[in-house]
A and B are shown apart, each in its own frame.
Chain A
Amino acid sequence: MGNFDRTLSSEDVVRRRATLLQRLHIDGWLLLILLVLAAGGLFVLYSASGKNWDTLLKQASSFGLGLLAMFIVAQIEPRFMARWVPLAYLGGSAMLLYVELFGYTAMGATRWIHIPGVIRFQPSEFMKLIMPATIAWYLARGSLPPRLKHICISLLLIGIPFVLVLKQPDLGTAMLILASGAFVLFMGGLRWRWISAAVAAAVPIAVAMWFFVLHDYQKQRIHTFLDPESDPLGSGWNIIQSKAAIGSGGVFGKGWLLGTQSHLDFLPESHTDFIIAVLGEEFGLVGICLLLMVYLVLIGRGLFITAQAQTLFGKLLAGSITMTFFVYVFVNIGMVSGLLPVVGVPLPFISYGGTSLVTLMTGFGVLMSVHTHRKWIAQA
């Protein structure tokens, strides 16, 4: 230790900063991208909410809360998480069951546990993280790739919360829960023949259901779900308007705060699920590509963390969280631009809504924890 008197080179400064972040178990890259996204999100939200400062402040404080949650989760060692996962799964499923039986109903859906005067929350939101952790924990106990027995048990573990959430009804969240579990299996090396068999089986089952099981009114509902434009007064209204908003943005957009579609109240839900339409209208193709690029960098970092993770549990969990994040992006933009049916999935970090923001940030906290708690065997 004889170099106290050495002047600090710029290289040293970078190293020391990195060390500080590492000591706090924060991944600098992830944090940087998240901050960029959140800043951009608030920027778009200001326009989408009709210059509403209240909305903006609420969203900013949710983001602060999310950062806190992320920071706390990042401190927890993955091994410690794995130990508590089964209990969390049981607790989460029990809460979902409680919701199914005695839950609090609002806007035609029963999603909340409501303890008057104390708290009101959606257990399905927790399940978005508990689900991949459970399957990762389960698969990490055995060896890869998972065998038929493990697959069946995994599917059962996924199925229970999936069905409970689907019945609330909350198709969007149910789908995300299903995806988060399924991606663990995928990351765990689920054999291609199982994957293709599942796809091959889905088609004839769907066809048979259509012809033999479903009633006419159910078919009608599925029809409007798949093709909202056939119901222009109902859900088709949003799609027609959001397509016009995005399309009229052109390559460079109409400019910040200058979108006509969104500012003339044409576009319902413009600051929540349909916010990408505002972005598309005001910032054009360039804006959308830029956003997608930031998302890609974030996902790239997540996949890098997955590949670098030391434990199998960490790998599977990080991989699933990253891929599920992409599902948010794809489903949301796909539905607003008229590629996919309308389900309630927000655009991560851009859509207004505190709950999903906190959940997402917590997920990235898990990624940071996986990445920063690695132990290096000293190398000579």
Chain B
Amino acid sequence: MPQPIRLKDHERDARLVRRRVVVGAVLVVMLTLVLVARAYYLQVIQYDHHTTLAENNRIHVQPIPPTRGLIFDRNGVIIADNRPSFSLTVTRERAGDWQAVLDTLVQVLELTSEDRAIFEKRFRQGRRPFEPVPILFELTEEQIARIAVNQFRLPGVEVTAQLVRHYPLGEHFAQSVGYVGRINEQELKKLDPVDYSGTHHIGKTGAEKFYENVLHGEVGYEEVETNARGRVLRVLKRTEPQSGRDLTLNLDLRLQQAAEAALAGRRGAVVAIEPATGGILAMASQPSFDPNLFVTGISFKDYAALRDSIDRPLYNRVLRGLYPPGSTIKPMVAAAGLDAGVITERSRIFDPGYYQLPNYEHKYRNWNRNGEGWVDLQLAIMRSNDTYFYDLALKLGVRRLHDYLYGMGIGRRVSIDLGEEAEGLMPSPEWKRARYRQAWYPGETLILGIGQGYMQATPLQLAQATALVANKGRWVRPRLLRSAAGLTPEQLMADGQIPQVETPPDVVLKDMKYWDMVSNGMQQVLHNPRGTAFKVGSQALYRIAGKSGTAQVVAIKQGEKYDRSKIQERHRDHALFIAFAPVENPQIAVAVMVENGESGSGVAAPVVKQVMDAWLLDDSGQLKAQFRPAPPAVESH
């Protein structure tokens, strides 16, 4: 059928549009009537209701902050709880001349002009209209009484009770659990304004910060009617807030206290990990500080004292302290050498007391300048022979050394939930080119073999690498959290509540026996009479595998000897020791750093043993039954 040819019919088009104009006009009039009807409904029918609301200063929506989740140690001891505290709030819109009100307040409470400056600063951070702004916390009974008496002179000023974070154990967990503090302006910009509308504190460091989402909970609110003075007359509607989740950490108060006691007032760091679960059992950085100071705002003076102290209590040595791992890296280098096939358990080298690269003058010294003669793997670890490891590092080459050690966690963040963790550094030729625009020298490979040079690791990374050896290469990321109301860190990750981190691939050696060879060498360190830490190992009721190390603070020139008498106390080497035990069934891996402690075996090793004893021995000083090596399995047919 042929299509009819369509001609433009202007008259018809015009009629069509005109009809639509009429339809449009009717639509507009009808919808306008809807608007008029709505205005009539609000302004005539509901007039009384709205007038009351508006006249009485009306309807208020008050956020009800959720209760922050509590934090427990692994045995249910409370580390962080919430304590009722009275604070003073001012509502700007009701205060009238608020400058005068602040003046009166300062006078009534007998405060200083410095306090007034802080008040003003806090006051200016007010958020939505008619929101009371807290300006003074932790009111005493007397202060509350004074305000009550002078209430008539203080319009818009109220005393309110709220829950404030409290850390009953004080400084024990300042470095791991961290603390909360008042929300500052930068944080305010990033936060969900609704969710945090009733909250004045936020996690600033440690687990408090990392698990902020989990701990915070959901805000509730109530619609209240108030009179002109701001007194609540009645609650119109209330939605309950949802408390945050409680956290149970892997930390153990007793072990934590033991670790701190073991450091005996020295500056240093202790980390203890349960190898099977990655749970951090203790984490001490000494000296520490009282986190309660930060909760309601630390005074300038207190803060300056903490910040400027030469002992650096605010410095988290476990997570932020970067040290060349020194000889503690040798077991890991040995595992790499065995797997790469450049050494065997039997292969030996001769140590004249130093090592020289072919065609180079420079002598790389063994710590024992007399030399140790023929050295094999066991002896090399036991005696911490530098010459052996110079040679091993050169045979491995920097490329393989980097890949193995990075694979074991050196130079990368290893934990799941320690947000402040430093990355450390596992150098490579590419890194050096990018950083210094210089080629890699063979000598730099040599000193990597004994954990010196550019390499830097945190005590946490060392503890993790030790746990990895105890686990025979199986990776378990260290974590503070045991469970958050039944959820493991992995479940929280899958749920998107904490950042996703992948577990690095397990370190699989060609032969599992290589791990035993490394472990054997580490046992000799403590249990062989020639071992560097035999003094400590000989007193142990269980077998320990460990390794000492020292981290240089200041460099020593070629040909110069380390002479402690010439060196200032603060410039002495840091003492390191890593270990795990019992070797048959590893329960605990520990890394210890004693600042300016000089001797890994002499100073750091006893600390390790004290921590292990606290974990492994029962009250009568015997190895706990569950940690005893399993009796050899009886084969049954």
Contacts and interface: CB of A to CB of B under 8 A. Distances in A.
A337 interface: yes
B24 A303 contact: yes
Given A143-B8, A248-B53, A186 B61 contact: no
B24 A186 contact: yes
B12 to A, nearest CB: 7
Interface stretch (B29-37, B280-288, B481-489): B29-37
13 contacts: A188-B16, A233-B61, A237-B61, A244-B50, A246-B42, A247-B51, A248-B54, A260-B54, A299-B25, A312-B17, A323-B28, A330-B31, A334-B38
Interface string B163-205: 0000000000000000000000000000001100100000000
B32 A243 contact: no
B47 interface: yes
B223 interface: yes
A233 B28 contact: no
**A interface majority secondary structure:** helix
A99 interface: no
Contact of B35 (A142, A264, A265, A292): A292
Contacts of A312: 10, 13-14, 17
B42 A299 contact: no
Contacts of A338: 38
Contact of B20 (A187, A232, A264): A187
A232 B46 CA distance: 20
B349 interface: no
A240 B59 contact: yes
A247 B38 contact: no
Interface string B583-598: 0000000000000000
Nearest to B61: A232
Interface in A325-380: 326, 329-330, 333-334, 337-339
A319 B194 contact: no
Contacts of B47: 247-248, 250-251
Contact of B129 (A266, A288, A303): A266
Contact of B61 (A143, A240, A292, A334): A240
B44 A234 contact: no
B415 to A, nearest CB: 29
Interface in A291-327: 292, 295-296, 299-300, 303, 306-307, 312, 315-316, 319, 322-323, 326
A181 interface: no
Given A233-B61, A307-B21, 6 more contacts: A187-B17, A250-B47, A280-B43, A292-B32, A316-B17, A339-B34
Contacts of A316: 17
A339 B13 CA distance: 36
Contacts of A234: 193-194
B128 A237 contact: yes
A144 interface: yes
Interface in A103-154: 142-145
Contact of B42 (A142, A186, A243, A322): A243
Contacts of A250: 43-44, 47, 51
B55 interface: yes
A244 to B, nearest CB: 5
Of B14, B38, B39, B51, most buried by chain A (CB within 10 Å of CB) is B39
Given A231-B194, A244-B58, A280 B128 contact: no
A319 B24 contact: yes
Nearest to B53: A244
Contacts, number: 154
A189 interface: yes
Interface of A: 142-145, 186-189, 231-234, 236-237, 240, 243-251, 260-261, 264-266, 280, 284-285, 288-289, 292, 295-296, 299-300, 303, 306-307, 312, 315-316, 319, 322-323, 326, 329-330, 333-334, 337-339
A233 B17 CA distance: 47
A273 to B, nearest CB: 16
A247 B16 CA distance: 42
A187 B25 contact: no
Interface string B45-67: 01101110111011101010000
B35 A337 contact: yes
Nearest to B9: A143
A233 B35 contact: no
Q: How large is the interface on B (under 10, 10 to 19, 20 to 34, 35 or more residues)?
A: 35 or more
**B interface majority secondary structure:** helix
A236 B55 CA distance: 20
A145 B16 contact: yes
Contacts of A280: 39, 42-43
Nearest to B32: A292
Given A247-B50, A248-B50, A326-B28, A266 B58 contact: yes
A326 B26 CA distance: 12
Contacts of A319: 17, 20-21, 24
A289 B50 contact: no
Given A187-B20, A288-B39, A299-B28, A245 B197 contact: no
Given A232-B221, A250-B43, A315 B14 contact: yes
B93 interface: yes
A196 to B, nearest CB: 14
A31 to B, nearest CB: 21
Contacts of A339: 34-35, 38
Contact of B17 (A243, A284, A306): A306
B39 A246 contact: yes
Nearest to A224: B194
B36 A292 contact: yes
Contacts of B63: 233
Interface string B2-18: 00001111101110111
A292 B38 CA distance: 13
A306 B21 CA distance: 7
Contacts of B50: 243-244, 246-248
B410 interface: no
Contacts of B57: 264
A323 B24 contact: yes
Of B40, B58, B93, most buried by chain A (CB within 10 Å of CB) is B58
A182 B21 CA distance: 14
Nearest to B129: A265
B429 to A, nearest CB: 38
Contacts of A315: 13-14, 17
A189 B28 CA distance: 17
Nearest to A232: B61
Contacts of B19: 189
B219 interface: yes
Given A144-B12, A144-B17, A266-B129, A285 B49 contact: no
Given A233-B63, A248-B54, A187 B197 contact: no
Contacts of B13: 143-144, 312, 315
Contacts of A322: 24
A243 B34 CA distance: 16
